[in-house]
Amino acid sequence: MLPPITTIIDNFEFIDDWEERYRYLIELGRQLPPADEALHAEANKVQGCASQVWLDLAVDEAGGDRRLRVKGDSDAHIVRGLVALMVALFDGKSPREAADTDAFALYTKLGLGEHLTPQRSNGVRAMADRIHRDAVRLSA
């Protein structure tokens, strides 16, 4: 189970060494729940990522409170960690809160933009854009 996003941010700020940060990112990816085959549907595939990435956003309306349930997966270890950051950031938010959240700002805050290849940064942007579009659609 993934830690809350605030814990993840605190841990990143505590870890000075970038090799250790990468290890932590990979560990976060390992904490994602195993993906079922339905997640790997073509409709869930994020376009614009060099690695294969799948994201699925659904609304849970239990108790009359609309909350997002976010699932994700990737075929690359570091990218799976980036997916885990997205899941930790958005899972449990209302669709409106998610639509108003700048996911790419989190990557900048964590310093990942300075240490990721341009290709991976483009993939992060593609994931953030996909979640934003889906959240806007689900908030309507």
- 49 given a catalytic annotation: yes
Q: Identify the DSSP state of 91.
A: T
The enclosing H or E element of 10 equals: helix 5-14
Amino acid at 95: P
Q: Which of 49, 88, 106, 128 is catalytic?
A: 49
Quick count: other Cβ atoms within 10 Å of Cβ 64? 5
Task: Return the active site residues.
Answer: 49
